[in-house]
Structure 1
Amino acid sequence: MLTLHAAELLVPGPGRAALPGGAVLVEGDRIARVGPYEELGAAFAQARVRRWPGVLTPGLLVRGADELLERTYYPEDTEGTEGTEGTEGAGGPDRISGADALACLELTESRWGNSARRATQKLLARGVVAVAGRLTVPAVRTAVVRSGLTLIAPLPYGAPPSLDPLAGLTAAEEAFHRVLEAGAPARFAVFAAADERDLLEQGATSCVATVIGGRLLHRRR
C-alpha cells in the first residue's frame, strides 16, 4: 500500500533544502519518493494521504542508551517510589537513577525489561527512531527491538543523555538519524513546529507522529 505523508514543511536532513508543502511517499517499509505534495499527490492519486501539521523530519537518534535504559528506572504510576530521587512527573518521580536509589529497588531483569518498555514509549513519543549504546541486559535489548527502535553502536556524547535528543543542541539536524530519500527506510517524525529553529525551542515533546518501517508507532491524541 502507498501512503503519502504531507506536512507544512518537509526537512529531508543535513545538506538538503527544506521544502514547504513537501511530502514523503511510503511503500511498505521504504520511502518511494520525496517531493512536493501537489506533484506526488497527482502522480499517485491512489495513495492514502496523511496530512500533518508542522514540520516533518528524519526520525531522531538518542545517544547513551545504556545510561537511559539500564541505569535509569522508569516506574509504573502505581509503584511506590518514596525515598528515591527522580525528575519530572507530578505526584512523584517518573524516573529513578543513581546507584544507591536503584539498589534500594532490588530490580530484577524482568522489572528492567518492563522499565525499558515504558521508556521506549516515551522515546517514540519524542520522534526517536534509533538509540545508540551497548545494552547488556537481555530483557532491555528485547524491549528495544520489539518497540521498533533501531539499536546502533555507541556514539560519543557530551551532555548527560536525555530522552529529548534535541536538548542542548545548536541545530536540530544534529539529532537526525539519516536523511529522507527514495530507497531509505521509512523512519521519520512530525513535530508541531514551524521550522527547525522553532523545533529546537519546542523540543522533542512537540512530536505529533512517529513512523518506523512505514508504520505509525506514535500519534498524539
Structure 2
Amino acid sequence: MLTIHADSRDHALLVEGDWIADSGQLADLVAAHPRARVRQWPGILTPGLINIHGTELLEEAYHPDPREAAELGTEPLMGDALAALHMDDARWGASARRGVQRMLAYGTVRAACEELRNRAVRDAVRRTGLAVMGRIGRPDGVPSLDPCASGRPVVFPPPRERGCAARFAVFDVRDEAELAERGAGTCVATVVDGRLVYRRR
C-alpha cells in the first residue's frame, strides 16, 4: 500500500513497503499517486534523529516497567541505581524493548553504539527495527532519551530521498532551530521501515 506522509511545509514522502518511492511537494505526489493514503502531520518532516548514547541507554540503563513506577520512577536508571537491581536476561531484554520504544517517541531512528555485548539486549534491539550504527569510544554529553538534551549538537541521518529506507520522524515545530530549542519531545510521529512505530496521542 502506498502512503504519503506530509508536513506543514508541504514536504512529502511517498512510502511503498520499506522504502521511499518518491519525495517532493504534497500536491505533486497526490496528483501522481491518487490512490495513495495521505497522512498529514503538523510541523516538519525530518530524517529522524541519531541518539549517540545508544550503548548507555540500551545496555547500561534500566527502563522501568510502568508497573514499577511507584517504586522505581519512570526515568532510566543508571550507575548505582542500576547496580542495586537484580538484572537477568529477561529483565535486560524487556528493558531494552522499552528503551527503544521511548527512543522512538523522541524521533530517534538510529542509535550509535559500541558493540552490544549483552545478548538479551542485542536480540531485543534487533527485533524492534531500530537501526544501530557503530561508534568508537564514549561520546561527550549526558545520555538522554531526547537527543536534543544531551548537550551536543542534534545529529540527523542523511536526507530521505527516493530509494532510501523509509525511516523518518515528524516534529511539531516550525524548523530545525526550534526543534533544537524545544527538544525532541515535540515528536508527533516516527516511521521505521515504512511502519508507523510511534504516534503521539
Q: Deviations over 1:6-36 (max 9, x none)?
A: 1113xxxxxxxxxxx1111111111111111
Query: Which residue in 1 is equivalent to 2:141?
Result: 159
Gaps of 5+ in 2: none
Q: Percent identity?
A: 50
Q: Is the 8 A contact 2:141 2:152 kept in 1?
A: no
Query: Which residue in 2 is equivalent to 1:70?
Result: 59
Decide which of 116, 130, 153 is 1:149's aligned counterpart.
130
Q: Is the 8 A contact 1:191 1:208 kept in 2?
A: yes
Give how far 1:121 is off. 0.9
Q: Does the C-alpha gap of structure 1 residues 155 and 211 become closer, same or farther in structure 2, counting only changes over 3 Å?
A: farther
Give how far 1:94 is off. 2.2
Query: Which residue in 1 is equivalent to 2:18?
Result: 29
Give how far 1:81 is off. 7.6
Decide which of 190, 196, 200 is 1:210's aligned counterpart.
190
Give how far 1:57 is off. 0.3
Q: Is the 8 A contact 2:66 2:74 kept in 1?
A: no
Give 1:118's aligned amino acid. R
Q: Does the C-alpha gap of structure 1 residues 146 and 169 become closer, same or farther in structure 2, counting only changes over 3 Å?
A: same
Alignment partners' CA distance in 2, 1:79 and 1:47: 42
Q: Give the 3-state SS of the residue equivalent to 2:56 in structure 1.
A: helix
Aligned length: 198
Q: Deviations over 1:147-184 (max 9, x none)?
A: 110111125622122211122345xxx42122111100
Q: Name the structure where helix makes up a greater proportion of residues.
A: 2
Give 1:8's aligned amino acid. S
Query: Which residue in 1 is equivalent to 2:117?
Result: 136
Alignment partners' CA distance in 2, 1:189 and 1:93: 24
Q: Aligned runs of 1:1-221 on 2, under 5 Å?
A: 1-9=1-9, 21-79=10-68, 92-98=73-79, 100-133=80-113, 134-155=115-136, 157-167=139-149, 168-170=151-153, 174-221=154-201
Q: Does the C-alpha gap of structure 1 residues 50 and 97 become closer, same or farther in structure 2, counting only changes over 3 Å?
A: same
Give how far 1:71 is off. 1.2
Q: Does the C-alpha gap of structure 1 residues 93 and 3 become closer, same or farther in structure 2, counting only changes over 3 Å?
A: closer
Alignment partners' CA distance in 2, 1:187 and 1:212: 4
C-alpha RMSD of the superposition: 1.7
Q: Deviations over 1:28-59 (max 9, x none)?
A: 11111111111111111111111111110002
Give 1:160's aligned amino acid. V
With normalisation by structure 1, the TM-score equals 0.84
Q: Is the 8 A contact 2:167 2:192 kept in 1?
A: yes
With normalisation by structure 2, the TM-score equals 0.91
- Which deviates further from its counterpart, 132-141 or 73-82? 73-82
Q: Give the 3-state SS of the residue equivalent to 2:21 in structure 1.
A: strand
Q: Does the C-alpha gap of structure 1 residues 204 and 96 become closer, same or farther in structure 2, counting only changes over 3 Å?
A: same
Give how far 1:79 is off. 2.6
Alignment partners' CA distance in 1, 2:64 and 2:26: 42
Alignment partners' CA distance in 1, 2:66 and 2:32: 48
Gaps of 5+ in 1: 10-20, 85-91
Give how far 1:196 is off. 0.9
Q: Does the C-alpha gap of structure 1 residues 166 and 80 become closer, same or farther in structure 2, counting only changes over 3 Å?
A: closer
